[in-house]
Amino acid sequence: MNKPYIIGIAGGSGSGKTFFLKCFLEHFNAHEVCLVSQDDYYIPVAHNMTPEENRLYNFDLPATIDNAHFLDDIQKLMRYETVYKQEYTFNNPNAVPKTLEVKPAPIIIVEGLFILHFKAIADLLDMKIFIDTEEHVALERRLKRDLIERGYSHDDVMYKWHNHVQPAYEEYLLPYKDESDRIITNNTHVAQDIIVITEEISKDLHKQIFPNQSAENDI
């Protein structure tokens, strides 16, 4: 079988990667694309921590990711093998982790903060997309997510933002911005702006990867 086309989507916390991915995936059928997320490869530590230890622990470092497992699962998908992975539930003790089943597809999307920093993973990418966002917009989104979905207090979110999140972004992601194939500015709260961009990219990919299908659609 042909080698899958691998797209890397990178962006800092609060850049809007999740919404971008949601819009992007809507342009493909389930058998055309699969997604593997760095968020599911954190080395489990939070369940052993006190709240104070959790507040101080820096999750925004490459060392917190099981990079070898992450890379191995990407390579399995490249060999058209199905991947099974337990999801990571962050610091939510009430969440029951699900077993994720990722089926191989002609297009593999790899997303996460460090995917361009991990050279072995970056070298596999056929297209690198960088989601760029102004800091105040990203912080607003981070606050909304962590207060509601992950149970952090406002003080905890601000501490992590200034001491962990932004330093990590500047050291492990921002240096790769200019190496990316597409830089997408996502400061807007207007969904249509992102929908238009994802539609444009997906049309190009359909023509490149599924040329017979595109020809049929043009008839």
Using only the alpha carbons of the chain, give its radius of gyration: 18
pLDDT for 71: 98
List per-block mean pLDDT (blocks of 10 residues) for the chain, which spans 219 residues.
Answer: 92 90 92 94 77 79 95 98 87 74 96 96 97 93 81 86 94 96 86 87 92 59
> Residue 127 carries which side chain, given as an amino acid letter?
M
Q: Nearest-CA neighbor of 157 among 134, 168, 141, 172?
A: 141
Residue whose pair of structure tokens reads 């979905």 in the numeric block? 149
pLDDT for 147: 81
Look up residue 130 and give its two tokens.
């960088």
pLDDT for 158: 93
Domains in the chain and their CATH numbers? 5-218 (3.40.50.300)
Q: What's this model's pTM, rounded to 2 decimal places?
A: 0.88
Look up residue 78 and give its two tokens.
């490249």
Contacts (Cβ under 8 Å, ≥6 apart) of 82:
76, 101, 102, 103, 104
pLDDT for 123: 97
Q: Nearest-CA neighbor of 19 among 165, 177, 206, 190?
A: 190
Q: Give the number of other CB atoms < 10 A from CB of residue 42.
A: 16
Look up residue 179 and give its two tokens.
């190496």
Look up residue 29 and give its two tokens.
């059928």
